[in-house]
Structure 1
Amino acid sequence: MLLNRLAIAQIDGATGETDTYYNLLRKCIRISINLLTRGITKDDIICLCTSNHFNSCVPIISGLFLGVKVAPLDPSLSLDDTTYILNQIRPRIIFVSTDVIEMIEEALEDVGVECEIVVFGFCYGFTEIEEFLEPVKNEAKFKPLPVTDVKETAIILFSSGTAGPSKGICLSHQALMIQFINTISYWNLGQKIYFSNCTKERSETGLMTAINFATYQWMPAVALLCCSILTATARIICKTFDSEVVWKLIDKYEFYKPGKPERVEGKSLKMLVTSGTALRKTDMLELRKLLPRCFITNAYIQNEASGLLTMFDVAKPVDIRDQYEEPTSCGKLIPGVTCKIIDPVTGKILGVNKAGELRYKADFIMNGYHKLDSSVALDSDGWIKTGDVGLYDEKHRFYVLDNLRDIFKWKCWHIVPSVLENVLKEHPAIKEAVVVGIPHVDENIGELAMGIVSLNKHMRRRVTEKDIENYANANLTKRQQLRGGLKIVRQIPLRPTGKPNREELIKLVFSEES
């Protein structure tokens, strides 16, 4: 940050305001010194709960400077989830945005922990971030504290809670640094640059610009922050996702369904990486039409692996070819990862093009779960169980199909919801689709597939539940039929990750029926 001090570190997506690495570094140093004066040590945990803005990354960097564990939370978490997490980590200090102060106060009171609340902005009775950012004596002489053990935990990221209560995934300095190097290569963030002998013009523009909408509870946001620092890349900071704004930002700083606004070309976008869930083939093909000069690819990311597990390498022509041949693949294994696909019932290792649970070993796995037994994440041979159903083909391209816990059984057949959902989404009236298993009265039958969909605007009176059910069954195999019927809902409830909240959805459907 000091060597690249003249480079732009952050750009406000709404106003165009910029923040240099020198200014960002100065803020991080001042907060670090303030944390030290408050007696914060490596045995403590600092926390933040805020949307994205210029100062939201500062506590994370300051924590890394001091070797203090940082636990970022997403502001969209419910009170119950927040209380549960704060009870686990019991932070000494938490940095929050004004919109979540009331929730954080209530959660801390329920937990019974004394914790200083620092507010991004103004709120009477609370410490404001500006107090931490005032000039500090001897700040020019500040040096980060040395990390004596690179395997110590640096960051705690909490899981989304899709498979039970959120777990604090403890990631070490060493694991993160290895994965940051991998990410820089695979995300094509370029080489580290120094501006000591460069012109001011180049110093202000840098080499490239990146954009990310996730908050720091999610691994891609943390990875992009640290990789941008290592490569002097500028990040565009956006509080929320707006498709039209994104297109304009892409054009200014040389999605599929909303379409591309007029007079916007998107030529400056060189790479688009998706993660969390694989896009449908039709979505990928439409994106290619909209962005013909852009390399669009899926990546498979696991917090337990400190980031990437699979991705195509944009620097390898063979990977570019393979991605274009198989647009739904999430890439090939990155260096340091060994993977196997197993039958979750028998434990038998499966071969090429056979779907089963994806398990792996890696050089950069987590230290464990914070205050929880992490052995539940491993099988008897020490492989991490992802809980995801996947397969690989003869060219070692990987595909992640669904979450293991979402798969259900009808008679002797396993039903993979994502396969049925992709068929439903092909219907022009459907906006979102989820398939769940409904228990049959006869246990030997298992569960019946039920489709739950939301509709595109102005389509509610043009199509019936029976129309969509008939359409889906006509395009599904006999064993995949929607035997549990189909329901139309106004909106699919989502988790903070953007994935459907299936439990809430089932409650919603059956409460409407009753």
Structure 2
Amino acid sequence: MDDSKLTVRESSRIIKEKSLDYVPDPRGLGYEFYQAMFLNQNAVAQIDAESGCADSYGNLLERCIRTAIRLLVAGITKRDIICHCSSNHINSCVPIICAFFLGVPVAPVDPTLSYDEAFEILAQIRPRVIFVTPDVVDTIEMALGEINIECEIVLFGSSPDFVEFDSFLEPDEEESHFQPLEISDIRETAVIAFTKGQKDDYKGVCLSHYAIMMQCLNTISCCNFGNTFCLSNREPDKNVNGFETALSFNTFARIAEIELLCCCTFTGITKIINQKFDPTFAWRTIDKHEVSFMTCTSFQAIQLYKIGKPEGVVGTTLKMLLTQGTSLSKASLYELRKLLPYCFITNCYGLTETTGRVTMFAFTKPGDIRDQYENPTSCGKLVSGMTCKIVDPITEKILGPNQAGELRFKSDLMMNGYLKQDHSDLFDKDGWVKTGDVALYDDKHRFFVLNRLKDVFKCYSWHIAPVIIENVIKEHPAVKDAVVIGIFEDIKAWNQIPMAVVTLNRGMRNRVTGKDIQMWANSKLSKKQQLKAGVKIVKQIPITIAGEPKRQQVKDMVLCENL
């Protein structure tokens, strides 16, 4: 239905949060980064969690400038794309920042991708230069050779066969005169982030300078980042007692990590660099580096409470823990609160297509903190610049509070489009983005994302949302992770019954069986949610870059084994 023809009642069911009163600098992200790094040059930009090596904003700025000059000399232009496929280390952010300096789109790629996935993505990007770590260089070289394009491989490490990144850091007489290149339009694409589409193909989501800066300001405002804002067109706020150290475990292949890099740089706070997630090491890192803000997936958060705080760890510096992905169950959240009684623990919801957050609670608003404690499974309220509604996907009727349907939204923070692909099927006939997520909101406009629409299945006329069952199973002390799928009991009746596929914590494999977990879970689940197809124990559950299970791949594994 055309929005202009909505009734008063229908209009009241559309939730809107006005945009922040801020106009980003038209010169773009490169200018903002340069200014912030120059102003904070004596502050610590990042610390390697394992080695303890610290890096100032001044030193980081110097390396970014030298890399940018080297790329300009090599002939890089705004028509090219800079690619990045690296794990986390002190220099992994340099290609991202220097791409902003040059006004050239940067496309970070997940370093854990298979050859086929890397080939699919690189064939779309067709990059001019790619920065890689030694563990993925062979895969990248093979994929580029198959695509048959001229692309310079720059290696973070030593090798006689590739250009070494360290060679980019030689002093240059032009560096003292360097200035970021201005962009012609604030809506130009700055980042191309890859995500899995509905048909299990990879899509390059093109995100603008404008949207990234506005979403960063949303996060800075909600999460109490830093002691000053170093964004132009904004008065510095010298008296804010904000977070000073941030920790995450994502690579730059996730837009959330690029956003965190922006937030830390614009506010001059320290970012802790981690190679990979290890719960015991994460606990010790919080204490060692006095981490005040941390973001992780829901799966990682569960591992933190299951392993518990190591002896000697206090964790009192941590003031906010922001989880992403599926919401934590109440039981998991309460266990985390016991370990971190002075920390605000909350979940958020976002999409790559929206340049990050759609909903989150604000640490800076006492009302939001109260609302989160009242209903901890909520993923928050709309961030600034978002307009949402819940729709019955069959009738297209706009639903009211506490009615579950598909979440749809409109926003000026929307992506520019998919790289070299049509995105018209992403919208309904009235121009609303179809998220494919089942959600609802309550009377206080707190949102709850229940499941992916395509993951919900029918069991004896009941619609089953897998994530609700998964949250129960994950409470079992032996279970490390769980994914619930529907298995056809009678394909003629199109009826599926729930099955759980789980991984176990270390040392539990010979102490618990699938039957034990099934009986335990069924005692806590409603009759319609019972695991009638049983529980299967596996060594590993395949997950996406966002830390979510690859359900179709799990289902294929189970079906192939049953054949």
Q: Taking structure 2 as the reference length, what is the TM-score of the superposition? A: 0.86
For 2:461 and 2:266, how far apart are their aligned partners in 1? 52
Q: Which has the higher contact order (CA 8 A, sep 6+)?
A: 2
Distance 1:72 1:508 in 2: 29
1:42 to 71, 78, 82: 78
What is the match of residue 485 of structure 1?
A: 534
1:412-442 CA-to-partner distances (Å, cap 9, x unmatched) read 3211111122222233333222111112334
Offset at residue 494 of structure 1 (A): 2.3
- The 1-side partners of 2:510 and 2:130 are apart by 48
Is structure 2 residue 477 aligned with structure 1 residue 428? Answer: yes
Residue number in structure 2 paired with 1:201: none
Of 142-151 and 207-216, deviating more is: 207-216
Alpha-carbon distance in structure 2 between the residues aligned to 1:18 and 1:9: 8
Residues 299-344 of structure 1 deviation map (CA, whole Å, 9 limit, x = unaligned): 1121111111111111111101011111111110011111111122
Residue in structure 2 matching 1:498, options 547, 554, 558: 547
C-alpha distance in 2 between matches for 1:353 and 1:219: 30
Partner of 2:306: 257
- Checking the alignment, whether the CA contact within 8 Å between 1:332 and 1:397 is kept in structure 2 is yes
Going from structure 1 to structure 2, the CA distance change for 1:440 and 1:345 (only over 3 Å counts) comes to farther
- Residue in 2 that maps onto 1:243: 279
Matched, 1:139 2:175: yes
Runs (5+) with no aligned partner, structure 2: 1-36, 231-241, 291-303
Partner of 2:105: 69
Q: How does 1:156-171 map to 2 (within 5 A)?
A: 156-160=192-196, 164-171=200-207
Please point out which of 121, 130, 135 is paired with 1:99: 135
SS in 2 for 1:48: strand
Q: Secondary structure at the match of 1:159?
A: strand
Deviation (angstroms), 1:463: 3.5
Task: Sort the Cα spacing of 1:507 and 1:361 in 2 relative to 1 into closer, same or farther, 3 A.
Answer: same
Amino acid at match of 2:548: K
CA distance in 2, matches of 1:471, 1:245: 31
Shift of residue 445 of structure 1? 4.1
Stretch of structure 1 that moved more, 23-32 or 341-350 = 341-350
Paired residues of 1:209 and 1:235 also in contact (CA < 8 A):
yes
User: 2:265 aligns to what SS in structure 1?
Assistant: helix
1:117 corresponds to: 153
| Structure 1 unaligned regions, length at least 5 | 195-205
- Cα distance change of structure 1 residues 457 and 100 upon mapping to structure 2, 3 Å threshold: closer
Give, in whole Å, the separation in 1 of the partners of 2:491 and 2:167.
Answer: 65
CA contact (8 A) 2:190 2:209 kept: yes
Q: 2:166 aligns with which of 127, 130, 143?
A: 130
Q: Distance in 2 between matches of 1:299 and 1:425?
A: 20
Q: Which amino acid in 2 is paired with 1:374?
A: H
Answer yes or no: is 1:180 the counterpart of 2:216. yes
**Greater displacement, 418-427 / 182-191:** 418-427
1:225 matched to 2:261: yes
SS in 2 for 1:438: strand
Q: What is aligned with 2:446?
A: 397
The percent of aligned pairs where both chains have the same amino acid is 54
More deviation in 499-508 or 114-123?
499-508
The residue correspondences of 1:464-479 to structure 2 (distance < 5 A) are 464-479=513-528
The one-letter code sitting in structure 1 at the alignment partner of 2:273 is: I
Matched AA of 1:333: L
1:449 aligned to which of 498, 515, 531: 498
Q: Report what 1:78 is aligned to.
A: 114
Structure 1 length-normalised TM: 0.94
Q: CA deviation at 1:233?
A: 0.8
Post-superposition Cα deviations, 1:185-216, rounded to whole Å, max 9, x if no partner, equal: 1121034268xxxxxxxxxxx97111111000
Question: More displaced, 184-193 or 19-28?
Answer: 184-193
Distance (Å, rounded) in 2 between the aligned partners of 1:257 and 1:317? 29
